[in-house]
Structure 1
Amino acid sequence: MIYGPTVLFALGEGAIIPLLPIYATRLGAGVAMAALIGAALVVGQVCGNLPAGWAVARFGERITMACAGGLALVGLAGMLLAPSLGVLAASVFVIGFCAATFGLARHSFMTTRVPLAFRARALSLLGGAFRLGTFIGPFVTAALLAIFGNDHAAIWFFGACLLATILLVMLGPDPERQLVTRSAPVRDDLVEDTGEAVTGSVSTAALRRHEGDTAARAGVFPTMWRYRSVLSRLGLAAASLSAIRSARQVVLPLWGVSIGLDAQTIALVVGVSGAIDFALFYASGQVMDRFGRLWAALPAMLLMGCGFLALSFTHGASDAAMWFAMFAAVLGVGNGLSSGILLTLGADVAPQADPAAFLGSWRTLTDAGGAAAPLIVSAITALSSLALATGAMGLVGLLGAGAFVRWVPRSVPRGRAGA
Structure 2
Amino acid sequence: MVYLPTVLFSLGEGAVIPLIPVIAASMGADVAFAALVASALVVGQLCGNLPAGWAVARIGERFTMVIAGAIAMLSAVGMVFAPSIGVLAASVFVLGFCAAAFGLARHAFMTTRVPIEFRARALSLLGGSFRLGIFIGPFVAAGLLELFATETAAIWFFLGCLTVMVLLVLFGPDPEKTIPPAATSPIRIGTTEDSGEVVSGAIPTFERIGIFRTMWQQRTVLSRLGLAAASLSAVRSARQVVLPLWGLSLGLDAQTIALVVGISGAIDFALFYASGQVMDRFGRMWAAMPAMILMGAGFVALSLSHDVEAPVLWFGMFAAVLGVGNGLSSGILLTLGADVAPKREPAAFLGSWRTLTDAGGAIAPLLVSAITAIASLPVAAAAIGVIGLLGAVGFVRWIPRFVPRVRDDDPVPPPG
TM-score, normalised on structure 1? 0.92
| Matching of residue 278 in structure 1 with residue 277 in structure 2 | no
Distance 2:198 2:89 in 1: 42
Aligned-residue offset at 1:414: 5.9
Tell me: CA distance 1:13–1:198, structure 2 relative to 1, closer, same or farther (3 Å): farther
The change in CA–CA distance for 1:38 and 1:341 in structure 2 (over 3 A counts) is same
Name the counterpart of 2:211. Answer: 220
Inter-partner Cα distance in structure 2 for 1:228 and 1:260: 46
Spell out the pairing of 1:294-373 with structure 2 (5 A cutoff): 294-373=285-364
Name the structure 2 match of 1:145. 145
Q: Specify the alignment match of 1:260 in structure 2.
A: 251
Q: How far 1:291 sits from its partner (Å)?
A: 0.2
Give 1:203 deviation, angstroms: 2.6
When residues 257 and 409 of structure 1 are mapped into structure 2, their CA distance, relative to the original with a 3 A threshold, is same
Query: Counterparts in 2 of 1:125-140, with a 5 A limit?
Result: 125-140=125-140
Provide the C-alpha distance between the structure 2 equivalents of 1:329 and 1:202, rounded to a whole number of angstroms: 47
Q: TM-score, normalised by structure 2?
A: 0.93
How far apart are residue 409 of structure 1 and its match? 2.3
Distance 1:339 1:84, change over 3 A: same
Q: What are the within-5 Å matches in structure 2 for residues 43-58 of structure 1?
A: 43-58=43-58
Work out whether residues 112 and 352 of structure 1, in 8 Å CA contact, stay in contact via their aligned partners in 2. Answer: yes
Segments of 5+ residues of structure 2 without an aligned counterpart are 184-191, 407-416
The reply on whether 1:195 has 2:186 as its aligned counterpart is: no
Name the residue aligned to 2:414: none
User: Using the alignment, how far apart are the partners of 2:198 and 2:107 within structure 1?
Assistant: 15
Shift of 1:28: 1.0
* Alpha-carbon distance in 1 for matches of 2:6, 2:295: 27
Q: Distance in 2 between matches of 1:253 and 1:137?
A: 19
1:162 matched to 2:153? no
Q: Which amino acid aligns with 1:128?
A: G
Which whole-Å CA distance do the structure 2 matches of 1:119 and 1:308 have between them? 30
Counterparts of 2:355 and 2:22 in 1: how far apart (Å)? 28
Match in the other structure for 1:119: 119
User: How far does residue 372 in structure 1 lie from its aligned partner after superposition?
Assistant: 0.3
- Which letter maps to 2:142? A
Equivalent AA in structure 1 for residue 328 of structure 2: L
Shift of residue 198, structure 1, vs aligned partner: 6.9
1:265 and 1:61, CA in 2 relative to 1: closer, same or farther beyond 3 A? same
Q: Is the 8 A contact 1:73 1:159 kept in 2?
A: yes
Superposed displacement of residue 179, structure 1? 1.2
Equivalent residues in 2 for 1:231-270, closer than 5 Å: 231-270=222-261
TM-aligned CA distance change 1:201 to 1:105, over 3 Å = farther
| Structure 1 residues 194 and 17: alpha-carbon distance in aligned structure 2, compared to 1, 3 A threshold | closer
Q: What amino acid sits opposite 1:278 in the alignment?
A: F
Where does 1:3-82 land on structure 2 (aligned, <5 Å)? 3-82=3-82
- Distance apart, 1:34 and its partner CA: 1.0
Is the Cα contact below 8 Å between 1:307 and 1:394 reproduced in 2? Answer: yes
Q: Which runs of 5+ in 1 are unaligned?
A: 185-192
Structure 1 residues 202 and 109: alpha-carbon distance in aligned structure 2, compared to 1, 3 A threshold: farther
**Aligned equivalents of 2:103, 2:198: Cα separation in 1:** 21
**1:99 maps to 2:90:** no
Q: Deviations over 1:39-83 (max 9, x none)?
A: 111111111000000000010001110000011011111111112
| Residues in 2 aligned to 1:363 and 1:17: alpha-carbon distance in whole angstroms | 20
Tell whether the 8 Å contact from 2:121 to 2:276 is kept in structure 1 after alignment: yes
SS at match of 2:309: coil
Question: What is the CA distance between 1:86 and its match in structure 2?
Answer: 1.0
C-alpha distance 16-198 of structure 1, shift in aligned 2 (>3 A): farther
Distance between the aligned counterparts of 1:172 and 1:93, measured in 2? 29
Change in Cα spacing, 1:414 to 1:283, as seen in structure 2 (3 Å) is closer
What amino acid is aligned across from residue 194 of structure 2 in structure 1? G
Spell out, residue by residue over 1:159-208, the C-alpha distance to the aligned partner (whole angstroms, 9 max, x if none). Answer: 00000011001000000101139x99xxxxxxxx983557766533x1xx
Give distance in 1, aligned partners of 2:357 and 2:196. 23
